[in-house]
Amino acid sequence: MISRRNFLNVTLMMMALFFLFQFTVVVKENWKQYETNEYMSEKNTLPEETPEASLGDGDFVGESQKTYIVLVSDTSDESLVDVVKQWCKYSKRTLYVYDDLEAYTKAGKSEPELLLLDKVGEEDIPQLQQLVKEGISLCFCHMPDYAVVSQNETLRSILGIKECILEETTLTGIHLFEGFLLGGEAIYEPEKEEEQKLQDMDLKVPWYVLDSETKAYMVGLKSDMVNAPKNEQLPPVIWRHSADGTMVFAVVGDYMQQITGMGILSAMVAEKNVYELYPVVNAQNMTIVNFPGLASENKEEMEQIYARTQQKLMRDVIWPGLEMIRERSGVKYTYLFATQFDYTDGNEPQTEDLIYYHKLMKEGGAEAGISLDHKESISLSEKMERDALFWESTENSYIYGSYYVKPGELRQFAGGLELPKEVRTVASDYEEGSELFSFLTEDITVQRATANGYKHTYQDNFKLRSLETALGYSHIMVDLNDIYWPDTKDDRWEILSDELAKNTGTYWKAFKEFEQTVLLESDTRVRNFLALDYEHYRLENCITLQVENLEQQAWFILRMHGEDIADVQGGTYKQIEKDVYLIEATGERVEIVLEEQKIRVEP
């Protein structure tokens, strides 16, 4: 039998627990404010958009700065021109394009930071030799034909080639050495049978042997040889030669014609200069497109594959899986809601799931946006009209500032179709030739994906390293549409989630010093990055950085050659890897003080 005192104590304890429980729930609800988008901020636009310029003899493209780049190209290879143009725009360099070396010489542009060569013929060799003597650093974006190289000793001496072995050899892999691109050493050679699917690098290259005054940054592997060759005997892919004290870079293959060329250019300039300081975005995005799918669609196939509806699959399987990946990797998600895909099946979106996921996303620090993905049975404008009716019916006060639009439909917004006035940024898939980030309209940015979260081949990894080197930026996109409407068994969540977890936990860890962001956060950084201008100079052991159009803060990469930072005034810094630092500028003037070099005296 319970005494009155014990009964009173038990009652008081239960009341206290009940009060604490209720109080915690109320506080949690008030604190979370799940209908408020904490990442929305006031829009800012570029002071002035840079006009597009037609390319021809001596055309000027880019921002006015003291340093400039020259590209000699007849512009028949538009991919190379697009890559160099984009790199110059982002690094705030001037770009001049000439049809040929004669046009460049007549223009009288002396001492460019780097002279990029598209295609070189035998008739250009005397002029190239003269440019090297004048101290003009060259980059062969396209290697001359093997026959031209093998038959011309002068050209070989400029390129640092000692011997020509074969016009074409097949590699077993590629070796990227540490210290060129960010991310360290990488060997792109499958060791196991299941790794064969990762190999998509160009494995057919000419075989040259370099002389002792060259430095190879990337070489081909020939593991099928009887005796393992030394690095200098392996077919070079990217290298630098010091010809009469002038640096000459060379690239075999089409790496410069792809977006990977931006990181290669940044690395070359860093190798050439005593130090290199340039702006980066400092944003790492993970965008989940078409989650959760507010209408329960494709019911029969969902039941057959997963024994549950699409809505239950999202709630019971996919959401916990994504959260586990987030907790293990530290990524930040932007979820772009899909209202529905098929507007002919009678399945309408439901509001209760919307409220449920907003609460969960708020707790995980995620941003919510909207996807405009849809089936072809309806036009984009019709979809937007139908969706607008749904969003009005939800009476939801959350402001969606990020949208997803397919690349092929982006141009409709430049042609008259309008996004809601609160939209700040649009995520889209990357297309060759398009800019990674730019302005879609006067005040809406586009942030294109740099990788597919489910797939990471050797080429994908090389591209990741290149973009992190040039921009400190990545945008990993995870599209759930294939799970709702699978074409093959490989589109099932259990397979795709394993690939996503492996890729997220392995390949992107090398760049953990860059910040994880949601789309609206990176949008702000992209706007600031595009708007800022800068100058820098060095006196003795102090590098002074002057930043113009600074909004709150900006980030720069500083690459050194054996020197370390002692202190930073007007900003902060952290080391990314050996000789590479991330500088955060919080003021318009930043002073980077380097440690005094110790001179070793031999006894």
Q: What is the pLDDT of residues 442-463, one digit of tens each?
A: 899 999 999 999 999 999 999 9
**Residue 59 reports pLDDT greater than 80:** no
Share of the chain above pLDDT 70, in %: 88
User: Could you list the residue range(s) of the whole structural domain that residue 437 is in?
Assistant: 283-526
Q: What is the rounded average pLDDT of the residues 286-293?
A: 92
CA distances from 301 to 232, 270, 305, 321 (A): 56, 54, 6, 21
Residue 264's pLDDT is what? 98
Residue 173 is encoded by which pair of tokens? 């892999």
Q: What is the rounded average pLDDT of the residues 327-334?
A: 93
Provide φ and ψ at 490, rounded to 5°. Answer: -70, -10
Helices and strands, number each (H, E), in the chain: 17, 30
Q: What is the rounded average pLDDT of the residues 402-409?
A: 95
Share of the chain above pLDDT 90, in %: 66
Residue 551's pLDDT is what? 82
Co-location of 300 and 433 in the same domain: yes
| CA–CA gap between residue 516 and residue 333 (Å, rounded) | 9
**Residue 19 reports pLDDT greater than 60:** no
Co-location of 250 and 205 in the same domain: yes
User: Of the candidates 90, 96, 156, 97, which has an alpha carbon nearest to the alpha carbon of residue 122?
Assistant: 156
Q: What is the rounded average pLDDT of the residues 244-264?
A: 94
Co-location of 294 and 407 in the same domain: yes
3-class DSSP state of 56: coil
Q: What is the number of residues in the chain?
A: 603
Q: Tokens 């098929």 correspond to what residue?
A: 342
| CA–CA gap between residue 474 and residue 556 (Å, rounded) | 16
pTM tops 0.95 = no
User: Of the candidates 525, 549, 524, which has an alpha carbon nearest to the alpha carbon of residue 535?
Assistant: 549
Q: Does a structural domain hold residue 203?
A: yes
Residue 379 is encoded by which pair of tokens? 């036009």
Q: Does a structural domain hold residue 317?
A: yes
Q: Does a structural domain hold residue 88?
A: yes
The CATH number for 264's domain is 3.40.50
Q: Which of 279, 310, 327 is the last residue of a domain?
A: 279
| CA–CA gap between residue 322 and residue 361 (Å, rounded) | 11
Residue 110's pLDDT is what? 76
Q: What is the rounded average pLDDT of the residues 347-373?
A: 90
The CATH number for 374's domain is 3.20.20.370
Q: Does a structural domain hold residue 252?
A: yes
Co-location of 237 and 332 in the same domain: no
Domain count, the chain: 3
Residue 506's pLDDT is what? 87
As a whole number, the mean pLDDT across the chain is 88
CA distances from 191 to 102, 188, 420 (A): 49, 9, 51
Co-location of 378 and 486 in the same domain: yes
Helices (H), 438-577: 458-471, 481-484, 493-506, 519-531
pLDDT tier for residue 46 given thresholds of 50, 70 and 90: very low
Q: Does a structural domain hold residue 21?
A: no
Q: Which of 246, 279, 312 is the last residue of a domain?
A: 279
pLDDT tier for residue 140 given thresholds of 50, 70 and 90: very high
**Residue 400 reports pLDDT greater than 50:** yes
Co-location of 450 and 495 in the same domain: yes
Co-location of 394 and 473 in the same domain: yes
**Residue 54 reports pLDDT greater than 60:** no
| CA–CA gap between residue 588 and residue 581 (Å, rounded) | 19
pLDDT tier for residue 111 given thresholds of 50, 70 and 90: confident
Co-location of 239 and 351 in the same domain: no
Cβ atoms of 493 and 450 within 8 Å: the answer is no
Lowest-confidence region among 58-72, 208-222, 288-302, 347-361: 58-72
Q: Does a structural domain hold residue 407?
A: yes
Co-location of 518 and 556 in the same domain: no
Q: What is the rounded average pLDDT of the residues 499-516?
A: 90
Contacts of 468 (CB under 8 A, 6+ apart): 181, 182, 183, 263, 474, 511, 514
Co-location of 320 and 233 in the same domain: no
| CA–CA gap between residue 529 and residue 549 (Å, rounded) | 9
CA distances from 600 to 597, 603 (A): 9, 9
Co-location of 291 and 263 in the same domain: no
Bridge partner residues of 575 (DSSP): 581
Cβ atoms of 189 and 172 within 8 Å: the answer is yes
CA distances from 100 to 75, 118, 119 (A): 10, 9, 9
**Rg of the Cα trace of the chain?**
28
pLDDT tier for residue 526 given thresholds of 50, 70 and 90: very high
Lowest-confidence region among 2-6, 155-159, 594-598: 2-6
Residue 4's pLDDT is what? 63
Q: Read off the amino acid at residue 394.
A: T
Helices (H), 307-350: 310-313, 319-329
Residue 468 is encoded by which pair of tokens? 């992190």
pLDDT: which is higher, 384 or 62: 384
Q: Does a structural domain hold residue 41?
A: no
pLDDT: which is higher, 310 or 174: 174
User: In the Cβ-directed half-sphere of 6, how many Cα atoms lie within 13 Å?
Assistant: 3
Q: Which of 245, 279, 313 is the last residue of a domain?
A: 279
Q: Does a structural domain hold residue 348?
A: yes
Co-location of 360 and 460 in the same domain: yes
